[in-house]
Amino acid sequence: MSNAPSSTVSVAQAVIHHAAAIRVIQAALAKAEGLGIKVCVSVVDSAGTLAGFARMPGAFLISGDIATKKAHAAVSIGVPADLVEQALSQEAPRVREGIVQTGFMMIRGSFPLRAGEALIGAVGVSGGSEAQDVECAQAGVAALLA
């Protein structure tokens, strides 16, 4: 048994509450319905673990995996995909390719979720155009902040 202070053994990590994940998903789905598209919405917690998921009937099957990979990328880096894209635009191809990881997709349509300054998770949406996915994901973020 270690005599080390607990602060050097473990840390508290903020994670999204399941009720908040549901609000994010519902808002993203409502936006998709308003746009007339069928999407999948994935919410992951700050550790990248799935916290909530929904697939609209008729959404592409692959969209479920893509939504989750988008959310995982957003929580892993802590910023939306478009900011990463801008930051990497002047880098060599090997740098841009190096960010590609299994279970990680840098396509617009995902945003980190924060409670104050704390990163608590991320939302990813897939099924519409890239712009539509962004709109739906932004609606989810707005619901969290409301």
**Residue 1: what pLDDT?**
54
CATH class for the domain made up of 14-145: alpha beta
- Return the domain boundaries, the chain: 14-145
pTM over 0.85: yes
- The whole-angstrom separation of Cα 70 and Cα 9 is 31
**Residue 101: what pLDDT?**
65
- The whole-angstrom separation of Cα 98 and Cα 28 is 30
β-bridge partners, 119: 114
Query: pLDDT for 95-109, tens place per residue?
Result: 767 666 666 677 899
pLDDT(33) > 60 = yes
The strands making up 40-45's β-sheet, listed across from edge to edge, are 50-55, 40-45, 118-126, 110-115
Q: Which is more confident, 98 or 111?
A: 111
Query: pLDDT for 38-85, tens place per residue?
Result: 999 999 999 999 999 999 999 999 999 999 999 999 998 898 888 877
Percent of the chain with pLDDT over 70: 90
